Chains A and B, each alone.
Chain A
């Protein structure tokens, strides 16, 4: 399995590296419209052809990858921190605190998050730049995506609370706050890492879903979601296989994360 993990690391590094080098690899940018070459097939000037309004698809894939790959981990970090705060603390405190936290978590989990996101997007001010819109999209994903991780952390923290070494530390007179930071949090770290890595592909896919609904990143900024929208016309995709590149990239990246994740799960176990 080491080979696959190494390969996953190389693939992720390559994808991230090339997306960060987008300015050099695709100097014309993602928004330039070649209106005389709309829907063009791959060529020397446009390696992956152009989209329906003549924008270079290669440039858009590079910039879209940059956005999705940088902001999905940021959203994952936010949701993991919230899960640690709510779930970890509730599990450590136990009793009524744990029950209350889990009730709130259950309530959040029962909400139709997609409709919630659509509503939140509709309530946002309209006159925001594409960059702000992308930040807000991932911020919303981060703020709404902590629930599943919070349950796991609550249970783990609960079992730590009743573990022998915590009992012993408590019997030795260690104050509650110090006990939490010195003995509980370090033992939650492997679970936190695993939850972080799990969340990244989930948020990438969520943004892609929102993009397909037209509610993700604002034009002209690309993201994997907006790029995947091109696959809507299934009747014609067989004739234009290069349109599958964003989908293939998404599958490759999510699979690579899964290989890394298996390593994190082993560490957590």
Chain B
């Protein structure tokens, strides 16, 4: 009897363990909030975060950037090859793959997707990143599992761009609702919820041969109010918050430290810049200050970035080094070091440039008091606080700063139309690791070259050099040469400081303990980048 009892205990323990494992690895519903209504379910028209999240979860892509390693991995394409001239890419596709409605997938679908993507009438933001020159894109279907795509001009970082191209079905009657990703849209209540169900035809399996994704469904609630999102998360109605601000992060960490994740510096930056537009309606002597690299460097040295990070972001930000965050493992120029905080050095440089201190006020060589305004968008408390800290820092070297908050449309009008401002604080949200995604910022002819946009010809030698380097890297398919060119761009930007980069915000998120397999990262989507591997238990 004793022996039988032991056997029974062992059997029960094994059974229990098996059941626990099975429960922990399969099924469940993940719930989280989208902060806005998705504008479209068509993956080629995606232009907003909410639609981007749906595309990520439902779209099947040929290649996928692993959000953790930042390396490119096979998706629907088992292998790929970019030609030496950077104009052509060839894919070898998986066989036996079907769309969510059972329609088989083949190279014809890829050709159809590219044709749709590059159709000028569609105005696809994703398609725009492939447009490197005039002419048509040619697709050649070699076999059902082989295709080559040729572009009229070299496209930098060509293979990585396919991370954003969800393949459409050429033949499915469901059109864009037939998907190749791990989930498919099952229900949509406008203004309320989107229900994603597991795609029964999804091609990927785990090491044991089990079909992915593990989750049965994902419920996305449309909730623009962050306070409500936080309350619902605390009540257990939501399983994760993809992006938290530092104040909420600390408050949640104080009560439930196991729920919050700080993945470190993200790609997002906050920066201050001066108006250098020649035709702007500001006094000439101020234009002269703002167009002086010495003046900009001195301002940069007088700003205490450590305090910006510690005081404004409660330590959940890193002092910025340059145009790219150190989080961008490949493209960041590791030779660059953070700008040291030194008001004394700043003052020395200004005095060497003809400025002088009189009764605690800095004056230029013509006797003009150094006073300028910094504008930022009202309602963004972090930018407002940064501006007030900078105001206090610059007061120490005799510079008087007026902080002005404006509604966003007024701010954009001043930045892009009237150029009626002196200095501005705004941020850059980077989703693309490749510097090509920032061509519109660094080219002097671009409308987004904020400190002096739409120049007919580069107005400074260093801007001319940046133009030349950015064009060179964009037309090269040699990663090493591209890296060298962009390293130099970063050095020039740090030397000249057209943007005074302030901080890189950390990627903060919250994940419930009922979610298994979550590993928040800095790249979007931070918490559900590996959604196909996640499980939810204990509900």
A-to-B contact residues, CB < 8 Å: 31, 33, 35, 38, 52-54, 118, 121-122, 126-130, 133, 213-215, 218-220, 229, 232-236
Contact = CB atoms under 8 A, between A and B. Distances in A.
Contacts, number: 74
A130 B402 CA distance: 7
A122 B418 CA distance: 12
B251 A214 contact: no
Residue from B312, B371, B407 having most chain A Cβ neighbours under 10 A: B407
B405 A53 contact: no
Given A127-B373, A214-B379, A219 B251 contact: no
B391 A213 contact: no
B402 A220 contact: no
B422 A126 contact: yes
A126 B391 contact: no
Given A53-B312, A126-B421, A215 B405 contact: yes
A126 B389 contact: no
A219 B387 CA distance: 9
Contacts of B420: 126
Given A38-B311, A122-B406, A215 B251 contact: no
B422 A127 contact: yes
A31 B403 CA distance: 13
B231 interface: yes
Per DSSP, are chain A's interface residues mostly helix, strand or loop, or mixed? loop
Residue from B381, B403, B404, B407 having most chain A Cβ neighbours under 10 A: B404
A236 B230 CA distance: 11
Interface in B276-317: 307, 310-312
Given A214-B379, A215-B405, A236-B247, 17 more contacts: A33-B311, A35-B310, A53-B385, A122-B406, A122-B407, A122-B410, A126-B421, A127-B373, A213-B378, A213-B379, A215-B407, A219-B384, A219-B403, A232-B381, A235-B230, A235-B251, A236-B251
B375 interface: yes
A54 B422 contact: no
B388 A53 contact: yes
Contacts of B378: 213-215
Nearest to B387: A219
A53 B403 CA distance: 15
A122 B375 CA distance: 11
B227 interface: yes
Contacts of B405: 214-215
Given A129-B402, A218-B402, A235-B248, A53 B422 contact: no
Interface residues of B, number: 34
A47 to B, nearest CB: 21
24 contacts: A31-B392, A38-B311, A52-B312, A53-B388, A53-B389, A121-B406, A126-B420, A127-B372, A127-B373, A129-B402, A130-B402, A213-B378, A214-B378, A214-B379, A214-B405, A215-B378, A215-B405, A219-B387, A220-B392, A233-B227, A233-B247, A235-B231, A235-B248, A235-B251
Given A126-B421, A126-B422, A127-B373, A218 B230 contact: no
Contacts of A53: 311-312, 385, 388-389
A122 to B, nearest CB: 4
Contacts of A129: 402
A118 B407 contact: yes
Contacts of B381: 52, 229, 232
Contacts of B422: 126-127
Given A214-B379, A235-B230, A127 B371 contact: yes
Interface in B361-412: 371-373, 375, 378-379, 381, 384-385, 387-389, 391-392, 402-407, 410
A52 B377 CA distance: 18
B231 A128 contact: no
B416 to A, nearest CB: 15
A229 B379 CA distance: 10
A142 to B, nearest CB: 21
Nearest to A38: B311
Given A38-B311, A127-B372, A218-B403, A52 B227 contact: no
Contacts of A215: 378, 405, 407
Contacts of A234: 227
Contact of A54 (B311, B379, B406): B311
Contact of B311 (A35, A122, A213): A35
B404 A126 contact: yes
Contacts of B373: 126-127
A218 B404 contact: yes
Contacts of B310: 35
Contacts of B385: 52-53
Contacts of B421: 126
B307 A35 contact: yes
